[in-house]
Structure 1
Amino acid sequence: MILPIGETLANLCGFAGMACIVVAYAYGTGKAAPNPYVQHGLNLAGSQLLTVSLLVNLNPASLVLEAFWSAIAIWGLVKAVRQGRAA
């Protein structure tokens, strides 16, 4: 255990993160023109919540996956901000 939070709280964070990522995927798939702030914001929130869970219930491979998931979500948010300023 790396973080000093309870396992139940860590699991709740993990389930909330999973829900964010699933909702973001469904949103991106279901909308003709998804709002990038919603899609990437949900993905970032989800990956961060899952990271909290993974720091209590250590799984190195999943932790690396969430690092990439966060980086890609941040990249998407940065692109959205840049495109918004250009418009």
Structure 2
Amino acid sequence: MNTTDWLGSIGVFLILLAYLLNTLGKLTTKDLAFILLNLTGAALACLASILLDYLPFIILEGAWTVVSCFSLVRYLRNPLH
């Protein structure tokens, strides 16, 4: 595996880990860990997609990253977590 494969694989793993932990009831979508797993995973997967020059996944993971950023900003603005 090359660097791009590792970046994409780690990114996808983090997204799936967030989903699994949410499904098992260990994290909610409002938990900081859930938001950060999605944000980091999507950013890594997007970077890998950019390096592969694969536009459909650049759009998908880029959108996922932006949405996760909005979630993080909303989390940080709310003093009552």
Higher RCO, 1 vs 2 (CA within 8 Å, ≥6 residues apart): 1
Give the superposition deviation at 1:33.
5.5
Partner of 1:37: 32
RMSD (Å), alpha carbons: 1.7
Secondary structure of the equivalent of 2:53? coil
Percent identical pairs in the alignment equals 22
Partner of 2:68: 73
Cα 1:11–1:33 shift into 2, 3 Å: closer
Which 5+ residue runs of structure 1 have no aligned equivalent? 1-6
Give the superposition deviation at 1:59.
1.0
Which 5+ residue runs of structure 2 have no aligned equivalent? none
Equivalenced residues, count: 79
Give the superposition deviation at 1:32.
6.2
Within 5 Å, which residues of 2 pair with 1:40-59?
40-59=35-54
TM-score, normalised to structure 2, is 0.85
TM-score, normalised to structure 1, is 0.80
